[in-house]
């Protein structure tokens, strides 16, 4: 994408004014919008976007050439000059309904979504024409089902807001705000001026943390001293998923729905989360009610349906990985529960009271599972356990791993499982092994540590797990040479992009012409962020949480963390979208993609992500070598 130059803006304004959607808009507003937009050029047969591809966060206007809409490999429409592309997906922030491929050379304007929202908010004529255009496009793409699809895809925040907004004047007291919250059983009050314009928001948290924490409490204090002076304000047509995203990114619990700065309604973070994750909650209930391995296998096989729903209702793909991981772990815990019952019935032995823990490692511990994770688990035995008790637990481990495999969690190819004695040790033996590896690590030790150093409690004595995690943080932080060696080892594995920006793919075998997003991208990000976290005694396990904590601790700059999150989001989005497509088509689920089959938009995203990963690896080595 290329930014629009000042010289081109005047020509483009004339072009847009010939289109009925923009014809009645003032030139000065179009100039501002175009100044924030980009030009996109495609050659013949290049993809603008693919069916089921994640939304590009904006719409396209065709300036030159034609774009074909393709569904199930068949052209269904040709979109020429003046066509707006991506408008149905714009509303619901879902995935694209069809593929869009250049019929010949095509030039387009890409309007970021914030520009469209601004026009919708400011100009009623634009708003009406835009929504009419959306309805026409739905009829084109989905025929008689358009009304239903529109209801599912278009989710304005006004559909979920609480309309009877409780408000107080900015000159009112903190006591009155507290009384109003208590009387109405609410957690927030909108603060307005005498003209009913929104000035702020006071919440129960503000009262507790800002007011009650004072040494001298004055109940007659002005409410404006304690309110949020910059609350989130959104128009009624703003998509609910965008509101949720903004609340989460700004760490605010409420958003005020306004019209010309007057309060229309209010919505809470919790309300939206309940709506968007209702399907996941129902799925979890099905897991809990399952009474056999067969039922759990069926639930696991259909997980992609829920994941697709979550993906369609999320602004960032990486944000749904903890939810997916929780579902996976709930399935595995139900398998474990059934195994405990089966083991006790067959052997007469109850192992629940023994001093041990089952640990989950890798992506499961980080809450970064996608559709098809394998098994990464182990035992930590209390040092008081005898050989006979350990033998019983190892026997149980065989049953547990077999049943996990049956349900759909393949056995780990690296043998990171409770059946492997190297992954099943007493606490003191684990510590001794970690001590040895961090002093003299070889290839196997580095691979081993990259999995084991991300661990969490799956079942059993949590104190054993926390004890070992404390030991890992302490010993690794004191041995920076180990982290340098680990990162230098990473440089032996090529990031799959050349100096000239071309993808490096496998040359032969079943994956010829493809690259593995996990081994070639995700692993680099998680390993690098883990290294920084371990060296700085950061306890978080999730990669995004770790990165944010590194920024808060001023270990990594905001710019670096932004690049980490952006690269991680890109790779996760492409990988999970590919896995869903595999599941829908009955193929073996994998993270292998053919980068040359991606849309131009996603090719550029991936190239930028791989470039950021390469720079991040170099930065990491400089950081740790500077400490040593």
Taking the chain, what is the end-to-end CA distance rounded to the nearest angstrom? 42
Strand order in the sheet with 377-381: 424-426, 377-381, 356-361, 455-460
What is the pLDDT confidence band of residue 503, given thresholds at 50, 70 and 90? very high
Domain with CATH 2.60.120.10 in the chain: 2-154
pLDDT for position 276: 64
CA distance 524 to 322: 20
Query: CATH number of the domain at 159-268, please?
Result: 3.10.580.10
Fold of 2-154: Jelly Rolls (2.60.120)
pLDDT for position 485: 84
Domain with CATH 3.10.580.10 in the chain: 159-268
H/E stretch holding 417 reads none
How is 214-283 classified by DSSP, letter by letter? SSS--TTSBGGGTSBSS-EEEETTSBHHHHHHHHHHTT-SEEEEEETTEEEEEEEHHHHHHHHTHHHHHH
Domain with CATH 1.20.120 in the chain: 479-628
What is the pLDDT confidence band of residue 111, given thresholds at 50, 70 and 90? very high
Copy the structure tokens of residue 147: 């009304």
Q: Which of 30, 43, 40 is nearest to 3 (CA)?
A: 40
Residue 158 has pLDDT above 90, yes or no: no
Residues of 89-106 as b/e, b for ≥16 C-beta within 10 angstroms?
Answer: bbbbbbbbbbbbbbbeeb
Residue 147 has pLDDT above 50, yes or no: no
Quick: pLDDT tens for 280-303.
666 777 888 889 999 999 999 999
- Most confident range, picked from 284-298, 313-327, 411-425: 411-425
Which of residues 309 and 126 earns the better pLDDT score? Answer: 126
Residue 429 has pLDDT above 50, yes or no: yes
H/E stretch holding 59 reads strand 58-64
What is the pLDDT confidence band of residue 627, given thresholds at 50, 70 and 90? low
Quick: pLDDT tens for 183-237.
988 999 999 999 999 999 999 988 888 888 777 888 888 998 999 999 999 888 7
CATH 1.20.120 fits 479-628, yes or no: yes
The pTM of the full predicted model, rounded to 2 decimals, is 0.77
Mean pLDDT across 347-368: 95
CATH 3.30.499.10 fits 277-434+452-462, yes or no: no
Mean pLDDT across 564-579: 95
- Rounding to the nearest 10 degrees, give the CA dihedral for residues 437, 329, 572, 590: 90
CA distance 55 to 93: 6
């Amino acid at each position: 994408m290329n930014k629009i130059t000042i010289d081109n803006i005047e020509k483009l304004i004339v072009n847009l004014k010939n289109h009925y959607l923009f014809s009645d808009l003032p030139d000065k507003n179009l100039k501002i919008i175009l100044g924030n937009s980009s030009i996109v050029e495609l050659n013949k047969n290049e993809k603008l976007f693919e069916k089921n591809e994640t939304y590009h966060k904006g719409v396209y206007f065709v300036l030159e050439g034609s774009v074909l809409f393709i569904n199930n490999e068949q052209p269904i429409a040709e979109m020429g000059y003046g066509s707006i592309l991506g408008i149905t997906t714009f509303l619901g922030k879902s995935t694209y309904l069809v593929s869009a491929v250049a019929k010949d050379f095509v030039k387009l304007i890409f309007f970021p979504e914030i520009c469209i929202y601004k026009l919708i908010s400011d100009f009623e004529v634009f708003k009406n024409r835009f929504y009419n255009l959306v309805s026409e496009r739905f009829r084109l793409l989905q025929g008689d089902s358009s009304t239903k699809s529109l209801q599912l895809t278009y989710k304005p925040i006004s559909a979920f807001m609480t309309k009877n907004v409780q408000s107080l004047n900015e000159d009112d007291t903190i006591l009155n705000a507290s009384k109003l919250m208590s009387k109405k059983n609410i957690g927030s009050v909108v603060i307005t001026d005498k003209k009913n314009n929104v000035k702020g928001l006071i919440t129960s948290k503000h009262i507790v943390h800002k007011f009650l924490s004072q040494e001298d409490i004055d109940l007659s204090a002005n409410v404006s001293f304690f309110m949020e002076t910059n609350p989130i304000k959104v128009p009624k047509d703003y998509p609910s998923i965008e509101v949720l995203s903004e609340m989460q990114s700004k760490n605010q619990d409420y958003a005020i729905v306004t019209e010309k700065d007057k309060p229309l309604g209010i919505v809470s973070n919790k309300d939206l989360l309940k709506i968007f994750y209702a399907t996941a909650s129902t799925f979890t209930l099905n897991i809990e009610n399952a009474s056999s391995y067969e039922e759990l296998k069926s639930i696991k096989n259909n997980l992609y349906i829920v994941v697709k729903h979550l993906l369609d209702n999320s602004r960032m793909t990486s944000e749904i990985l903890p939810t997916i991981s929780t579902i996976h772990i709930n399935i595995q815990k139900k398998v474990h529960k059934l195994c405990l019952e089966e083991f006790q019935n067959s052997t007469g032995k109850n192992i629940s009271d023994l001093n041990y823990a089952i640990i989950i490692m890798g992506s499961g511990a980080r809450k970064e599972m996608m559709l098809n994770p394998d098994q990464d688990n182990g035992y930590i035995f209390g040092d008081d356990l005898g050989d006979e008790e350990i033998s019983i637990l190892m026997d149980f481990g065989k049953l547990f791993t077999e049943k996990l495999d049956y349900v759909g969690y393949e056995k780990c190819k690296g043998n990171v499982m409770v059946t492997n004695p190297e992954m099943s040790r007493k606490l003191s033996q684990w510590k001794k092994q970690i001590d040895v590896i961090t002093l003299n690590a070889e290839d196997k030790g580095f691979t081993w540590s990259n999995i084991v150093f991300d661990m969490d409690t799956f079942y059993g004595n949590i104190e054993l797990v926390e004890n070992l995690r404390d030991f890992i943080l302490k010993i690794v932080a004191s041995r920076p040479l180990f982290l340098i060696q680990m990162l230098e080892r990473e440089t032996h594995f090529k990031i799959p992009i050349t100096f000239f920006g071309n993808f490096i793919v496998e040359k032969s075998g079943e994956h010829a012409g493809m690259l593995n997003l996990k081994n070639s991208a995700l692993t680099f990000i998680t390993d690098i962020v883990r290294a920084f976290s371990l060296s700085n005694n950061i306890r978080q396990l999730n990669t995004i949480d770790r990165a944010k904590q590194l920024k808060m601790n001023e270990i990594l700059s905001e710019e670096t963390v932004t690049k980490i999150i952006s690269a991680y989001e890109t790779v996760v989005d492409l990988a999970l979208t590919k896995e869903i497509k595999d599941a829908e088509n009955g193929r073996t689920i994998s993270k292998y993609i053919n980068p040359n089959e991606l849309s131009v938009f996603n090719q550029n995203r991936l190239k930028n992500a791989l470039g950021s990963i390469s720079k991040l690896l170099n930065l990491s080595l400089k950081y740790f070598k500077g400490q040593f």
